[in-house]
Amino acid sequence: MAAGRLVGLSVAGLAVLAVGIVLGTQLVPEPTPVASTVEAPPTPGTTATTTTTYDPEPGTTWLSDRQPVDDPPDGGSDRGAWTSGSANVRGQTRAKAWRATGAWCGKAQLAFTLDGQFTRLTAQVAIAGDSPDTRPLDFYVITDGTRSVEFQHVGKAPQPVDVALAGVHTLAIGVEPPDGDSTRCPGPERVAVWVEARLVPVR
């Protein structure tokens, strides 16, 4: 009789154990897979580049989006030397820029009408990273017919520009070879860029 009870208890114990295993298996959650991002290495023989993005302040006017006037105010070359769009500066593609070609042969200017609507011009100037010739050029700003700011011997390293425009009606940006530059024309092209040129409006 005692042996029968022991067998009964053992069977019952095994049954409880089996139920516990089944329930335990159902209650333990499966591990959640963790998402991961793997960046592919650059293709051999290519150079990685980055593109700037913009979150401008309300009222911002990009000079590269503004229509220039036909006649430069200081005898510079016509607007055919200039193109708006992107520019390469030290491996970065800047989406907002004016590119000037032909400046290594002489003066290149681009003029705009402001009508006193802006207080400042901020920008960066440089020789484009993809320019065939990277020797320095001189950059300058003309406000209402007066050359007000100059940036001499600018190379591939971008230089900051910050010019007061309060009450200014006409603005011109310009590029020219430095004094004593021995470059012959035609020859290897030097591409000058005005990048992220921003007009700050009157508040």
What pLDDT score does 107 carry? 83
Asked whether the predicted pLDDT for residue 89 surpasses 90, the reply is: yes
Least Cα distance to 62 among 89, 107, 92, 94 occurs for 94
Tell me 18's DSSP state. H
Model pTM score: 0.70
Question: pLDDT (tens digit, 9 = 90+) per residue, 27-81?
Answer: 333 333 333 323 334 444 434 444 444 555 667 799 999 999 865 555 444 566 8
Summarised one tens digit per residue, pLDDT across range 2-35 is 444 433 434 444 343 343 433 344 433 333 333 3
124 compared with 45, residue with greater pLDDT: 124
Q: Give pLDDT, residue 146.
A: 95
Interatomic CA distance for residues 70 and 111, integer angstroms: 8
pLDDT at 78: 52
Nearest to 156 by CA among 63, 92, 64, 79: 92
Query: In the predicted model, is pLDDT for residue 113 greater than 90?
Result: yes
Among 157, 164, 146, 158, smallest CA distance to 196 is for 158
- pLDDT per residue over 160-187, tens digit each? 999 999 999 999 999 999 988 877 777 7
* Per-residue model confidence (pLDDT) at position 1: 47
Q: Which domains does the chain have, with CATH numbers?
A: 61-201 (2.60.120.1060)
The pLDDT of residue 105: 76
- The model's confidence at residue 143, banded by pLDDT at 50, 70 and 90, is very high
Is the model more confident about 116 or about 182?
Answer: 116
Amino acid 152: pLDDT? 96
Residue 185: its pLDDT value, please? 72
Q: For the chain, what is the largest distance between any 2 Cα atoms, rounded to a whole number of angstroms?
A: 122
